[in-house]
Structures are given as C-alpha cells and as structure tokens.
Amino acid sequence: MDFDEAVRLIRLKDARYQPQAYDVVRLGLDHAQKIVHGEPKKGKSIVNRHVSGPQLLEGFRQHVLETYGPMSYPLLHNWGLRKSVDVGNVVFNIIETGLFGRSEEDDLDDFKDVYDLKDVFQRPFEPKAN
C-alpha cells in the first residue's frame, strides 16, 4: 500500500486531519531522522532510523518553519493540527497501517504538551514590541 492509499483509508475511520497533515508529518519525520541519524548512506539498507516523539516534533517544527514560514500556523490549524498531540495522533494512525514502525517505548503521551503550536509557529512572525 502506498502512502496516499494509507491516508485515504485512515481518513475513512478518522477524519479529524486533512491529507496535508499526514504529508507534513511524514516530511517532519524524514527531517527528524536526518537530524538524529544523519543522511542515509547510498546503497545501504536502512536498519533503524527510529526517533522519539519529542525528536519527531523537533524535526517537524524545523521542517514546517523552513517550508511555510509565516503561513505555518494557519496552515497547520486548517489541516487539523492544533496541539502537539495531534502530530502524535497522525503518527499513530500511520503506524496502524504498518507504514511507520513503532518501538515498545513509543507512546502517544510522548507528544502531549511538548510545545504550544501557536507559540512555536505563529509568535516568531509577530511584530516585536519596543
């Protein structure tokens, strides 16, 4: 099953998040894996590129800010991502399809209250008070 098909099936059961939310979380995971494990070596099979919830959220944060800049918060909000735990919900929905792996230590609570999305994605672009 490819990623788009997995998202379509997920959304039949859980329509809280738009398809774009799944794409941006997947790209945030890719970014987090590069931060934690470095670039994958050409010709080498990927053995274990697992990241923790907070590590994934940091990669997600960097990716979203670099990609969307001042539009980050409104886009995420529109796609249904309003709290850090929403990113975790998307991850665990994808895990259920078998497209993402999971370690025994992984828990949805790892994503709860890690950061406030408004603080992280909107405040950096607000005018500074003198």
Intervals of the chain under pLDDT 70: 43-47
Nearest-angstrom CA–CA distance, 97 and 119: 32
Whole-number Cα distances in Å, 130 to 35, 70, 89: 35, 21, 39
| pLDDT of res. 47 | 60
| pLDDT of res. 39 | 81
| pLDDT of res. 96 | 93
| pLDDT of res. 3 | 95
Domain residue limits, the chain: 3-39+47-125
In this predicted model, what pLDDT tens digit does every residue of 71-102 receive, in sequence order? 999 999 999 999 999 999 999 999 999 888 88
